[in-house]
Amino acid sequence: MTDFTLRPMEPTDGPAIDALMREEAQTTRVSMTTHYSHDIYQAFLAQHPTLFGVVAVAPGVAGIIGMATAFVDEVMIGGQTFQCAHLENLKVRHDARRQGLGARLAAWRIEEAERRSGGDVVIAAGVEGSNVASLATASRWSTQVLGPVRIVIARATSKAPSSRGLEIRPLVEADIGSVVEALETFYSGYDFVPRHTPAGFAGALAPTRLGGPIRQYRVAVGSDGTLVAGASVTERFKLMTDHIDSMPWPLALVGRLSGIVPPDRIIRSIEVGLAWHAPGRVDALRGLWDAIRYEWRDRATNVVGLADPRGTLLEAFHVGRTLVPRVELMAPVRSPVRLDERRLLYMWR
């Protein structure tokens, strides 16, 4: 067995992490490699400023053998605020697998999250529902598995949507208080919604350390001038693109016919989150969803949203008839309080 050493991830690890991520691309039926437009460590921080991570090294071995990351924030569970550590990337080099390294990396993240929070912290992850191995690994630390939450994948569209009597516009500073209040009301029946203050909300839309902002917010305004819907747009394509290296021809055919797989097989995506609508105005959020798909048509190929199928978001994130297979996420969780599985679940990737 190799003598692995674990240490905290450092800013200078970016090139080695990038090499590991590229060399250990997905080995499922669809092989995909993520290409970062910036140093990967800085890109991680641009997405989640509270990110921390761990890397594994071994004597006489160049580069890193494995890595794992997490980020922390405050979420609402049952109307209460909790510190939460969200487990993200975990990668082990192929020749170091089946030696317990993955479990050690996972344990390090949890122990570090507990250290940073003083021990009272919720641990959560998002795992594709068909990934039996990852769900089995998560069962070692989780006490509940929540979900599913649907991953909605739509094409950007060149067809201008109907206005539906709405004005779709960017958020302005005067809107922030109303949007934060609307989010609190809309998500009162959800768990794992990030806790927002006006200052924190504005900060999430500010430029990142890489230069410009990667998040924008759009609102829908009704005929009487009131805000009736809103949604954030994370421009993931500014940080990374997904290159499909190979896929079975039946899936390639489905991808081509549905338009989900671009002709050059390079996916440039945006992600819609923190979406809400006023009571009885799911139509307004659907109009906003369509407007976002149109507005970003020249920059993004795909628009992604996550929706608990028991709520109204799935109705708003309309795709229409599609050949794209259903994709769902499950959420392994370890929490100081047991979560009520009847409550809706908010997730993001």
Domain's final residue, options 116, 149, 182: 149
Are 136 and 211 members of one domain? Answer: no
pLDDT value at 1 more than 60: no
Task: CATH number of the domain at 29, please.
Answer: 3.40.630.30
Nearest to 277 by CA among 323, 224, 229: 229
Vertex 159 angle, CA 240 and 226, to 5°: 85
pLDDT of residue 137: 85
Express each pLDDT in 106-161 by its tens digit.
999 999 999 988 878 999 999 999 888 888 889 989 999 999 999 999 999 999 99
Instruction: Describe the crossing of helices 40-47 and 14-23 by its angle, rounded to 10 degrees.
Output: 90
Are 157 and 19 members of one domain? Answer: no
Taking the C-alpha atoms of residue 190 and residue 184, their distance in angstroms, rounded to an integer, is 10
Are 101 and 207 members of one domain? Answer: no
Q: Domain of 173?
A: 151-326
For 78-200, list the strands marked E by DSSP: 80-92, 122-125, 127-128, 144-155, 167-170, 190-191, 193-194
Nearest to 296 by CA among 161, 157, 118, 106: 157
pLDDT of residue 254: 62
Express each pLDDT in 283-330 by its tens digit.
999 999 999 999 999 999 999 999 999 999 999 998 877 666 788 999
pLDDT of residue 323: 63
Residue 155 in any domain: the answer is yes
In angstroms, what CA-CA distances link 266 with 2, 94, 236, 255? Answer: 37, 25, 13, 12
Express each pLDDT in 51-101 by its tens digit.
999 999 998 888 899 999 999 999 999 999 999 999 999 999 988 888 889
Are 59 and 163 members of one domain? Answer: no
| Contact predicate 35/87, CB 8 Å | no
Are 265 and 205 members of one domain? Answer: yes
Residue 311 in any domain: the answer is yes
Are 49 and 181 members of one domain? Answer: no
Lowest mean pLDDT among 31-40, 141-150, 202-211, 240-249: 240-249
pLDDT of residue 209: 86
pLDDT of residue 267: 93
Q: Is 310 helix (H, G, I), strand (E, B) or coil?
A: coil
pLDDT of residue 26: 53
pLDDT of residue 127: 93
pLDDT of residue 74: 94
For residue 168, give the DSSP letter.
E
Residue 345 in any domain: the answer is no
| Contact predicate 151/328, CB 8 Å | yes
pLDDT of residue 331: 96
pLDDT of residue 211: 86
pLDDT value at 335 more than 80: yes
Are 230 and 268 members of one domain? Answer: yes
Are 167 and 99 members of one domain? Answer: no
| Contact predicate 136/331, CB 8 Å | no
Whole-number percent of the chain with pLDDT over 70: 93
Residue 95 in any domain: the answer is yes
Nearest to 331 by CA among 224, 237, 191: 191
| Contact predicate 117/273, CB 8 Å | no
pTM: 0.91
Are 174 and 313 members of one domain? Answer: yes
| Number of separate domains in the chain | 2
| Contact predicate 64/57, CB 8 Å | yes
Residue 332 in any domain: the answer is no
Are 158 and 277 members of one domain? Answer: yes
Are 117 and 164 members of one domain? Answer: no
Are 186 and 129 members of one domain? Answer: no
